[in-house]
Structure 1
Amino acid sequence: MLSKELTYLLEKFLQGDRQLMVLTGAGVSAESGIPTYRGVEGYWTKGSRNYKPEEIGTLRFFQKKPEEVWKFALYRRTICKRAQPNLGHTSIAKLENIFRDRFTLITQNVDGLHLKAGNSDHRTYQIHGDIDHIRCSLNCTRTLYEFPQEIGEKKQGEGLTGAEWELLRCPECDAICRPNVLWFDEFYNERYYRSESALKIAGKTGLLLIVGTMGTTNLPNQIFDTVRFKQGIVVDINLEDNLFSEEIRDSRTGFLLRGKSSELLPQLVDEIRKLRGWQPFEESI
């Protein structure tokens, strides 16, 4: 059950024209069986060596050992492709169906489960990239290439064949391509991660739902600060407290909902539907 205070503010929000933004992290997909990148299962073991995500998930490491990074990336891609959306994902897709052009999804997840659940490409900002595209590691071109479908599922530690390695070469300069993901030693940009567009929409956001993220990266923090500065409502849906919690707890327009997103998001969707009379917003022209 949502509190009376939150229900009241949701009703006021629905009467206006500001944006609904949903910001998601690894906690949403963890319920679909995808290990969080920072958890124990996010480590990469090579022989007796355990590489931390902050080490192997870097451009510097890729430049030294590209095959190791690709083996790690392909194994995680296999896990992601096998996974199915859970009720958290489908509830967020329902929110887009309700709000339409008042809706934006900002996700730190690269697994594609939001799109598989029904969210649209043009309203989904994958600010850490995605597993379905690759790009030149030397930036000879800014083109994104579709991931080669000839490369199938990979077990943990399984290497690439010579033919598969050739499929990962840039069509323009023949350099090895890289996963289209944001690594730990890189910065956000508009071209690949739509960072400027995300912040622009944050300035128009009246309701921000934070789901399954600890708030440890820069752009989500900027989004949160922007929404708070614009006096938007913030609802944090997580299993435990995160870097946003203290400020939300001290705010009259901030709410902490603790529990599984697959359980709490359906309740939130039902409440919004009741307040809306089950009618979606009109598409803007």
Structure 2
Amino acid sequence: MNWKKFEKELEKAILSGKYITFLVGAGLSVESGIPTFRGKEGYWKIGSENYKGPEIGTFRMFNLNAIEVWKWFLFRKTICRKAEPNRGHLILKEIEDLLGNQFALVSQNVDSLHKKAGNSTKRTYLVHGDLDYARCGDECSDTLYSFPKMEDKTRESTISLDEEKLLECPKCGEYLRPHVLWFDETYNEKYYKFHTVTEIADNSSMLFVIGTSGSTFIPGHFINRVSYFNQPIIDINISESEYSYFLNDYPNGYETRETSTEALEKVLSIIKKIKYEN
């Protein structure tokens, strides 16, 4: 990556007054010990069958076996609850402080680490939901409830009858569901701010894509929108992604094969330099 050329583009982006957008995926949280859905830790055993995370995290599986889906998410919630923000999360907080209302954080992560790091809710858009909340699985209302409070769960943990009552919707008695976008669902504005983040993409002077393989819809959607306006796109990932082929040919595309923390440290240093010089 040509960091000198990037610095000039970043200065231009800051002076434009438009959004500088950070689109974040699961790779950012790996350094905090949170496994990805698609990684080797993303399997779940039901009876004698092994299922992948993208098979467990579906509305279809919830309808077939809500308790097994809850076991999976209670286990993942335990991991998230114990995790702490890593340096990459903290850098994003520092960048927000420097950029103010030009900063937009669009995160595919549901682990609450952006909140723990101190990023503001008004500039953070959780497009895959938030594991701090649950809602009625039957959609009797759009009320968000606090995620059920239980003791830490492992892969082998069961759910007691008393705990099962905590999983019932207070209004209708049906099972609650974690407030996350499942793999067989589509984005919407009500829960996932899809139209809002699309507008942000269209008004971005620079897009950072951090720690995501591009297997979900949002990265490609953002890259299409931002590249339509010929704005710079920077891919920060330790390996190639679904959109590497595009960025290699895109005149304003940048790629760096570093960890999120390593690359963001450089970005933060450049932003400080630009801010202090202007």
Superposition TM-score, scaled by structure 2 size:
0.96
Q: In structure 2, what is the equivalent of residue 169 of structure 1? A: 168
Q: Residue 194 of structure 1 aligns to which amino acid in structure 2?
A: K
Q: In structure 2, what is the equivalent of residue 55 of structure 1? A: 55
Q: Residue 164 of structure 1 aligns to which amino acid in structure 2?
A: E
Q: In structure 2, what is the equivalent of residue 283 of structure 1? A: none
Q: CA deviation at 1:2?
A: 5.5
Q: CA deviation at 1:278?
A: 7.3
Q: In structure 2, what is the equivalent of residue 105 of structure 1? A: 105
Assess if the C-alpha contact under 8 Å between 1:72 and 1:157 holds in 2: no
Distance 1:3 1:133 in 2: 40
* 1:1-285 alignment, distance < 5 Å: 3-149=3-149, 151-277=150-276
Q: CA deviation at 1:162?
A: 1.3
Distance 1:46 1:63 in 2: 15
Q: CA deviation at 1:63?
A: 0.7
Q: Which runs of 4+ in 1 moved over 6 A?
A: none
Distance 1:3 1:135 in 2: 45
Equivalent pairs counted in the alignment come to 278
Q: Which moved more, 1:39-48 or 1:24-33?
A: 39-48
CA RMSD between the two structures: 1.4
Assess if the C-alpha contact under 8 Å between 1:215 and 1:221 holds in 2: yes
Q: Secondary structure at the match of 1:277?
A: helix
Distance 1:76 1:200 in 2: 32
Assess if the C-alpha contact under 8 Å between 2:128 and 2:181 holds in 1: yes
Q: In structure 2, what is the equivalent of residue 282 of structure 1? A: none
Q: Secondary structure at the match of 1:187?
A: coil
Assess if the C-alpha contact under 8 Å between 1:2 and 1:268 holds in 2: no
Superposition TM-score, scaled by structure 1 size:
0.94
Structure 2 stretches lacking a partner, 5+ long: none
Distance 2:89 2:67 in 1: 32
Q: Secondary structure at the match of 1:7?
A: helix
Q: CA deviation at 1:252?
A: 2.3
Assess if the C-alpha contact under 8 Å between 2:89 and 2:117 holds in 1: yes
Q: Secondary structure at the match of 1:239?
A: coil
Q: What do residues 185-224 of structure 1 show as CA deviations (whole Å, max 9, x unaligned)?
A: 1111111111110101111001101000011112322111
Q: Residue 56 of structure 1 aligns to which amino acid in structure 2?
A: I
Q: CA deviation at 1:157?
A: 2.4
